Structure 1
Amino acid sequence: MKKIINNPEAVVEDMIRGMVAAHEDQLKQVPDSTVLARKQSPVQGKVGIVSGGGSGHEPAHAGYVGKGMLDAAVCGSVFTSPTPDQVLEAIKAVDGGAGVLLIIKNYTGDVMNFEMAAELAEMEGLTVDKVVVNDDVAVKDSTYTTGRRGIAGTVFVHKIAGAKAESGASLAEVKAAAEKAVANVRSMGMALTPCTVPAAGKPGFVIGENEMEIGLGIHGEPGIVRTDIRTADEIAAELTGRILNDGVHQPGDEVTVMINGLGSTPMMELYILNAKVNDILREKGISVYKTLVGEYMTAIDMAGCSVSLLKLDSELKELLDAPSEALALRV
């Protein structure tokens, strides 16, 4: 294992210190926690937005903390759900009196711990609600989930909910906008290589030199098929085809596309993939309003990618275009 780290057991704490040092004008660490919050939080009268999960997916989730997106992100250990007490600290740190919305990726540990934190917060008199993101069309159930996994499409939910909250909307209105985003976003990924969790010191699984896995999860959960390496056009057709077969996106729709790298995929390759994705959508009569290409939700050092499509209406388009000062998605 070759990594630029100190103690493998302290990578999250060291990362948080580095993020605050780099962005102390925008971020603060909630004392005695692994929570990163907006420097000015809580914002009185505004719905607070909290997300998080296991670390190793950077820039998710702390990179999306900022005006117009998240108010706080809870950084669990690598690929491990944050504990309920960590999530509770985030809720309390961002509560400005209008309630707090939790955005949860659909993994069993995340759902359980975030819901438990919400119950604890309500016992202290705070108002909390939640949405669960399950955008991955690859598998219905996986190693970590009951139902579909939450992957890179979660970033769109952060953006939509954050913009709605920034507009002064109520908790119910913010939740409705977030749920609309969840209902209209679908994603699917693939991997060329495994990833190495620092504390483990070795890859979590093995992929042959000339193999790839379609539908692999962002923690290394099994995909749906392992094949010989295919061309970029073939990969784009496989991922986009399975997303479209889910039935959410139809001819005449307008979408935003996200081509997401998983940690070790060059931008050159992501753009090559995007060219074919756009060709496919055009052929299907689906227009592309905006395209995001880059690393938005990674899997440490995995080589691979995911494709996400968000179907737009006038409200979602307006919220997508609203200003964001988040470190990883400035608008």
Structure 2
Amino acid sequence: MESKFESNGTAVTEFILLGLVETAGLQPVIFVVFLFAYLLTVGGNLSILAAVFVEPKLHTPMYFFLGNLSMLDVGCISVTVPSMLGRLLSHKRTVPYGACLTQLFFFHQLAGVDCFLLTAMAYDRFLAICRPLTYSTRMNHTVQRILVATSWACAFSNALTHTVAISTLNFCGPNVINHFYCDLPQLFQLSCSSTQLNELLLFGLGVLMAGAPVILIVTSYIHVAAAVLRIQSSEGRKKAFSTCSSHLTVVGIFYGTGVFSYMRLGSVEASDKDKGIGILNTVISPMLNPLIYSLRNPDVQGALRRVLTGKRDLA
């Protein structure tokens, strides 16, 4: 590590990630637990993706978005957990400056797409339940692709903005990050230049990336709830509620942890709570999503059984 500023004003060329625990005896346990969680998450989400791909019943807009969400979940956990497992194996806790910013970019890229994709899924439920007569034209294949492409473009702009903004900060020591992956709040704490503009940028873009989608999701589900309550059949109400409740559960976990992580301007103290929220963001949420979407959905359950057993519907 260099002891004086380089030409770009940054002295720190690598960071030290403390990880989840510093006790050497617990590190093998952490490795096994997170390796299992990673394999379970990847396997679960790829199973959902395979079910959506091969099962004709699931070739609908809702499951098209769910398949995209499964790919994002695999990406989100792959950005953070494998590198953490590698450091546990090698007993090397350092990460180069460039690798840290690369991890930050891809994490915010994928999380940003998640924000907009969850909004698209809420809009899909609104059209399906509240506008059934025009649903097929308003949510055709072209519209679906445009919604996904727009989600990626907006998330890319957000992730690139944050990455460029933080690359302008000076890091002249200390270089110890009390976390298991690189993220904005922890890097703000280490900068030896003012982060006020970066924090305001994080807050402002956070309102656009999360606030606007939440308003759209809540508005959609207010209309959906009113429409569901008007359904005469109790079976129809139950089916509509089961598909919506799965999505709302995922939305609650995703946005709840996101708000805690990023909407705390002025908080400069690193905390083990941040690690807990990080685990929820990057491990627990992607791992639970396949379970949440399949638990009360007989179509997905049947498709998963056929994928896993290799049997197809004779009908």
Q: Same fold (TM over 0.5)?
A: no
Q: With structure 1 as the length reference, what TM-score do the two structures score? A: 0.29
Larger relative CO (CA 8 A, sep 6+): 1 or 2?
A: 2
Q: With structure 2 as the length reference, what TM-score do the two structures score? A: 0.31
Q: Whose helix fraction is larger, Structure 1's or Structure 2's?
A: 2
